[in-house]
Amino acid sequence: METERTLVGIVKATLHRPQLLVLDEPTASLDPDVADQVRNGVERQCNETGAALLVTSHNMTDVERICERVVFVTSGRVVADGTPA
């Protein structure tokens, strides 16, 4: 049930092709194959529309795959800022 809620939320967020897409832990409750499909879909939509993507995630696979810039925040303070590499 959680998987379906997550997918419906992502579809609702992307349906109108926003200029800024904000996703909080977008693949947290998804199995690896579905998570990969979500990453591919979000990445494709942002590339096609030029949308900016803001993601909060503990999943470094998501971060490395779909982010150009990464900011680590601890206790409300930026402790690192740069590329995923």
Q: What is the pLDDT of residues 46-68, one digit of tens each?
A: 999 999 999 998 888 888 888 89
**Tell me, what's the pLDDT at 71?**
94
**Tell me, what's the pLDDT at 66?**
85
The widest CA-to-CA distance across the chain, in whole angstroms, is: 36
Residues 82, 25: Cα–Cα separation, whole Å: 20
What is the tens place of the pLDDT at every residue in 17-40? 899 999 999 888 889 999 999 999
Query: Is the pLDDT score of 1 beyond 80?
Result: no
